[in-house]
Amino acid sequence: MLILYATPVVAEINMGGEMHQYVEQIIWQIDDAPAKLKSMDLERDKLIRAAAVAIGQANNVTRNFASNAWGTFAHHHGLAELRNQFVGPKWKIDRSEGIESIINDVKMLKVTFQNVDVAMGVNDPKPRSPKGAGAERACEGNLAPLFPDAPIYVPVVSDIYELWSLMVDETGNLELSRPVVQDKTFSICRERILIATADDWMGSDPAPSSGTDDVADDFDVNVSLKRKI
């Protein structure tokens, strides 16, 4: 059972004057992450590799670049390396709804790259740029209940992919999480797989692997004057 290996976050809702409990979120701790990822046809080390490349390439930005360059570089190279690592027999490139991702038709999973404020924190990560209507529609599959016997409090769209995001913050912390997009941001992550802090991979070579056809024409723009080069 899923509940035995991950940390459930239980919430309550008032229905007809009665309080009902339901599982709002599942958090997979670092030790349990590899097994969960394996069930999704993903590998922890390859996800870390994508994050390392994103951070490594973004850190090439100097003061002469545009103010949004750091976030743009991180997204372009992180997405490209995610595809370099996984596209093959099980995963393919997908661009539906204007969302650049990889997709697994057998598992009904979609994975994209996302710059966030803070990953691996107590609170759910937030995107560093507003999300559009396409992202909200793409996350409809994440509204389904976490357990088949749990109460359903939101409309469920059948036969739709779960959308997961490799969420990487500016320091290099990363998690793979399943967000719900509302009002142009993440209202909650239904599941969070805690993968690694920056200290777990710092020192590894962030040079990208030899991939071909690395195309990324959609990205989250991070406009910030707070970063000092």
Q: What is the pLDDT of residue 99?
A: 87
Phi-psi region of 149 (alpha: psi -120 to 50; beta: other; left: phi over 0): alpha
pLDDT digits (tens, 9 = 90+) for 10-67: 555 554 565 545 457 889 999 999 999 999 999 999 999 999 999 999 999 999 999 9
Give the pair of three-digit tokens for residue 191.
């599941």
Indicate the pLDDT class of residue 125, thresholds 50, 70 and 90: confident
Find all residues with CB under 8 Å of 119, minimum gap 6, and list them: 125, 167, 168, 169, 173, 174, 175
Provide the residue count of the chain: 229
Q: What is the pLDDT of residue 223?
A: 42
Q: Average pLDDT, stretch 70-90? A: 96
Q: Is the pLDDT of residue 116 over 50?
A: yes
Q: What is the pLDDT of residue 135?
A: 55
pLDDT digits (tens, 9 = 90+) for 166-220: 999 999 999 999 887 665 566 678 899 999 999 988 765 555 554 444 434 344 4
Q: What is the pLDDT of residue 197?
A: 94
Q: What is the pLDDT of residue 190?
A: 85
